[in-house]
Amino acid sequence: MTGYYQLLPEAVMLVAALLALFGEFLPGRDRGTAYIGLAACLIAAALVVWGGITRPIFGGMLVYDGLAQYARVAIALLTAIWLLWVAGRGLGKERVREAVSLALFSALGGMLLASARELVTFFIAVELATMPAYVLVGYRRRDVVGLEGTLKYFLLSLLTSLVMLYGLSFLYGLAGSTFYTRVALVGHSPLATIAAVLVLVGLFAKLSAAPFHYWAPDAYSGASAASVAFVSTVPKVAGTLAAVRLITYFPPPVGVLATVVAIGAAASMLLGNLAALTQDDIRRLMAYSGVAHTGYVLVAVAALLSGVGNAAGGAVFYSVAYAVPSLAIMLIAAEEGVTLAGFGQLAARRPWVAWSAVLLLLSLIGIPPLVGFFGKLYVFGAAISGGLVWLAVLGVLTSVVSAGYYFRIVRSMFFGEAPAAAPGVLSTGESDGLPTADLPVEDVAPAPLVPSVPAGIALALCVLATLALGVFARVPLS
């Protein structure tokens, strides 16, 4: 598949996203809409694999190398798993159709972002990938806390997008072109350094890296766990690849940029892991965990700026290694409750889910032979090769710290007290109504958890992917 046919996967996602907007007229309504989105994601992933690595299109605006194809497939499949779970569980008392459409639009933006090699395409794709996330975070329309978190997310993202756009305009003015290859030819100047720093501010905020991470815990804690499962994982895969590519084309001095990124990585690892230790809300805990994992990704980016060629593949591989288990943990939280107490005695109530969660958490810590171990091995190995030994050591130490809060979840599942009310969510996904009270959803007595085959398959696929990606670990090449 060559030429413009390379855009067929994105075209499939676009058609499905538009169809989902009219889900009430489709067979099966909410559940049928989720299955249509699932089918579109699987078709898009198959088309990407079938297309393989081809020449750039639109004069080099979009490039389909190995990293781009790897990220496009990962985005499509992660979205498919999320939609499979939604088809089985729904979204409580909220309608599913618009959420499916928003997720598909976000995935479409992420797939375009993964292959962008031009500043305007990059910025438009970034906004397409993140704007639907604003709505997903505030999807519970009667939840005041959720709307507050959405507003914080929107305002900070808007501000940092404008800062990033200001920096991109400087790069365009210096290069006389919006293509990355021309930007790389810009010589060293104070204006080029300012432009690079402004763009880094925007990238750090989009990836929730310190010190621009403060929106994430508040936004996630106000959203439903199912929304957080998507927003905190899928867009980050594309964001990581886009950041890796753009940063490597920044004008010199490269050493200064490597130092800035290394400091951001260290701050993210420290602040994220230490702040997560005291959290009882799973969403806030995973938000700070996401900050820490972004720090590990930035370790690879710093190594790339220091001259380690395969660090780009390591960063993208690590973003997937983080996304798969994190997605599954948040889906379990959507079923069991968003506090540590909600996980109480999960091993007695749902043994296979509890043991699956243990495996997923071990991967996030970095225990072999799971995918998280190899992700960190590639990242820290790249740092050592780039002369950033101190950053690799800090990464290993903070990984040990992360075991403290991940094992708090394990302790609750096996040794905690059972929750007072039976946990669960609505399983049909057919309700069109709104919550009948103005209380947050967590304060309303949950419905009994009904077994769901699609949701069980979605969690099982995450577990299998965590194992398979570890056993057959390989860094994607450009």
The model's pTM: 0.90
Q: Please say whether the beta carbons of 434 and 64 come within 8 A.
A: no
Round to whole Å and give the CA distance between 174 and 189: 10
Neighbouring C-beta atoms of residue 37, cutoff 10 Å = 31
Report how far Cα 155 is from the mean position of its chain's Cα atoms. 20
CA–CA gap between residue 314 and residue 410 (Å, rounded): 29
Own/partner contacts of 200-204, CB < 8 Å, gap of 24 or more, are: 200/167, 200/247, 200/257, 200/260, 200/261, 200/264, 201/160, 201/163, 201/164, 201/167, 202/160, 202/161, 202/163, 202/164, 202/165, 202/167, 203/164, 203/239, 203/243, 203/246, 203/247, 204/160, 204/264
The pLDDT value recorded for residue 428 is 37
Structure confidence at residue 329 (pLDDT): 95
CA distance linking residue 16 with residue 12, whole number of Å? 6
pLDDT of 3 reads 67
With both helix axes pointing from N to C terminus, report the angle between 190-206 and 254-276 in degrees, rounded to the nearest 10: 20
Question: How far apart are the C-alpha atoms of 470 and 367, rounded to whole Å?
Answer: 10
Classified as helix, coil or strand, 359 is: helix
> What's the confidence (pLDDT) of residue 441?
43
Q: Please answer whether residues 136 and 102 qualify as being in contact, where contact means their C-beta atoms are separated by less than 8 angstroms.
A: yes
Q: Which two tokens stand for residue 415?
A: 């040794």
Contact of 326 with 282, CB cutoff 8 Å: no
Residue 448's pLDDT is what? 55
Alpha carbon distance, N-terminus to C-terminus of the chain = 18
Between 290-294, 317-321, 346-350, the lowest mean confidence (pLDDT) is in: 346-350
Task: Give the pLDDT confidence of 102-128 residue by residue, as tens digits.
Answer: 999 999 999 999 999 999 999 999 999
| Half-sphere CA count of 239, side-chain side, radius 13 A | 26
- Distance in angstroms (rounded) separating the CA atoms of residues 437 and 3: 53
**Residue 214 has what pLDDT?**
83
Residue 427 pLDDT grade (very low, low, confident, very high; cuts 50, 70, 90)? very low
Structure tokens, 351: 């043994």
Confidence of residue 446 (pLDDT cuts 50, 70, 90): very low
The mean-pLDDT minimum among 204-213, 350-359, 395-404 falls in: 204-213
Report pLDDT for 1. 55
Determine how many CB atoms are found less than 10 A away from the CB of residue 106.
27
pLDDT attached to residue 433:
33
- 294 residue type, one letter: T
* pLDDT 10s digits, 136-192: 888 877 777 777 778 888 888 889 999 999 999 999 999 999 999 899 888 888 888
What is residue 318's DSSP assignment? H
Compute the mean pLDDT over every residue in the chain, rounded to the nearest whole number: 86
